[in-house]
């Protein structure tokens, strides 16, 4: 199943329901299009058109149009709303029983969906890809996706995945995955600056030199201390005898900057991701940068699910192009 084509189109059962002499209209179940029958059964099972559309990976408007046409074809109402709850009418229950009985007789197999493993730098997963991945799952509830957050160089070198999205220093993708991949593609250059929450710092009182940082708490994500590009910041943190917090959680570091008057090193796009944060330029003479790289496991290339997810990642970076300028 791809991320763009409706699930079950080729694998759905070819329903041929036996004729029920006591209900002549049910005889039409024998000629129902298998896809429409599946739309009906999934909607009946979910009790929600939106959830059924997600499960089938189709637009809810298409699903409801097909079901409305089915009701016209059978000349019976199949669904009704009781308050906000969707339920089957008596005729809908009869059709459901007819189709389920046939499905049980045929012992239809469950169609396994391909598993796609995505390994991605934790900060990119949180800041850039999170919203798009949630939108993917909202559209398609049958996806099999394993997401692996990379929080260190060691994790990157140990990971095995279909798609890898990582951060590297300099103009080369090294260090990168240890398994054979497609030619790595550079997606963006990301600049880094210290940040503080706007509500904890008036414009006239914001630090403009490293000496001014003595009156502020510094917070560091532990992953950053091993990155050569961040040496100016890391040296400053290492020299601190007081007023410094180091932690393993990227998300908790963000919360401390937002809510605890701390200063921490973040991507320069962060003020666009969170309007409550502001960058502090001019504190360090040397630029601090990383490059975002994307590669696909050689053994996974060409798969529709993998290609669909790769395009989702590229689209997420294209959509946020101004963040990296």
DSSP per position, 11-60: TS----PPP-TTSGGGGGGGG--HHHHHHHHHHHHHT-HHHHHHHHTS-H
Closest CA to 188 of 293, 271, 267, 286: 293
Q: For residue 85, what pLDDT band results from cuts at 50, 70 and 90?
A: confident
On whether both 101 and 153 belong to a single domain, the answer is: no
Rg (CA), the chain: 27
Query: Is 215 a domain residue?
Result: yes
On whether both 179 and 243 belong to a single domain, the answer is: yes
On whether both 124 and 102 belong to a single domain, the answer is: no
On whether both 75 and 201 belong to a single domain, the answer is: no
More confident residue, 273 or 107: 273
Query: Is 306 a domain residue?
Result: yes
Q: What is the pLDDT of residue 184?
A: 97
Query: Is 314 a domain residue?
Result: yes
Looking at residue 286, which CATH number applies to its domain? 3.40.190.290
Residue corresponding to tokens 């395009």: 311
Domain boundary, last residue among 60, 77, 106: 106
For 111-125, write each residue's pLDDT tens digit: 567 899 999 999 999
On whether both 65 and 134 belong to a single domain, the answer is: no
For 185-219, write each residue's pLDDT tens digit: 999 999 999 999 998 877 667 888 898 898 899 99
Domain boundary, last residue among 43, 76, 106: 106
Q: Which residues contact 61 (CB under 8 A, 6 or more apart)?
A: none
On whether both 119 and 49 belong to a single domain, the answer is: no
Kindly report which listed range (8-17, 46-55, 115-124) carries the lowest average pLDDT score.
Answer: 8-17
On whether both 42 and 190 belong to a single domain, the answer is: no
For residue 89, give its domain range.
24-106
Domain boundary, last residue among 106, 125, 146: 106
On whether both 122 and 259 belong to a single domain, the answer is: yes
Q: What percent of the chain has pLDDT over 90?
A: 54
On whether both 89 and 158 belong to a single domain, the answer is: no
Query: Is 247 a domain residue?
Result: yes
Q: For residue 222, what pLDDT band results from cuts at 50, 70 and 90?
A: very high
On whether both 71 and 99 belong to a single domain, the answer is: yes
Query: Is 15 a domain residue?
Result: no
How far apart (Å, rounded) are the C-alpha atoms in residues 246 and 220? 5
Q: How many structural domains are present in the chain?
A: 2
pLDDT at 104 over 70: no
Query: Is 201 a domain residue?
Result: yes
**Four-residue CA torsion sign, 18, 23, 27, 29:** negative
On whether both 240 and 277 belong to a single domain, the answer is: yes
Q: What is the pLDDT of residue 202?
A: 73
pTM: 0.70
- What mean pLDDT is predicted for residues 286-309? 94
Query: Is 3 a domain residue?
Result: no
Closest CA to 237 of 253, 257, 221, 259: 221
pLDDT at 105 over 60: no
On whether both 273 and 176 belong to a single domain, the answer is: yes
Query: Is 16 a domain residue?
Result: no
Looking at residue 50, which CATH number applies to its domain? 1.10.10.10
**Four-residue CA torsion sign, 134, 325, 202, 236:** positive
């Amino acid at each position: 199943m791809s991320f763009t084509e409706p699930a079950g189109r080729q694998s759905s059962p070819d329903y041929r329901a036996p004729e029920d002499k006591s209900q002549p209209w049910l005889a039409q179940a024998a000629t129902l299009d298998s896809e429409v029958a599946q739309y009906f059964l999934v909607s009946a099972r979910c009790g929600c058109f939106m959830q059924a559309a997600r499960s089938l990976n189709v637009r809810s408007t298409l699903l409801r149009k097909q079901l409305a046409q089915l009701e016209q074809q059978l000349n019976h109402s199949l669904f009704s709303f009781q308050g906000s709850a969707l339920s089957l009418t008596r005729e809908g229950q009869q059709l459901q029983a007819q189709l389920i009985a046939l499905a049980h007789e045929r012992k239809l197999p469950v169609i396994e969906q391909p598993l796609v493993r995505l390994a991605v730098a934790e900060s990119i997963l949180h800041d850039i890809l999170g919203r798009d991945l949630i939108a993917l799952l909202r559209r398609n509830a049958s996806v099999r996706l394993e997401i692996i957050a990379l929080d260190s160089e060691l994790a990157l070198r140990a990971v095995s995945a279909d798609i890898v999205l990582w951060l590297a220093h300099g103009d080369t993708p090294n260090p990168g995955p240890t398994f054979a991949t497609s030619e790595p593609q550079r997606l963006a250059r990301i600049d880094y600056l210290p940040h503080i929450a706007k509500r904890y710092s008036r414009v006239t009182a914001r630090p403009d030199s490293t000496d001014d940082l003595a009156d502020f708490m510094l917070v560091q994500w532990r992953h950053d201390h091993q990155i050569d590009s961040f040496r100016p910041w890391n040296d400053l943190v290492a020299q601190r005898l007081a007023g410094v917090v180091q932690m393993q959680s990227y998300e908790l570091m963000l919360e401390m900057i937002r809510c605890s008057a701390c200063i921490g090193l973040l991507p320069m796009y962060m003020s666009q991701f969170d309007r409550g944060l502001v960058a502090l330029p001019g504190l360090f003479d040397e630029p601090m940068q990383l490059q975002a790289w994307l590669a696909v496991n050689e053994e996974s290339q060409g798969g529709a699910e993998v290609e669909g997810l790769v395009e989702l990642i590229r689209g997420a970076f294209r959509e946020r192009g101004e963040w990296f300028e």
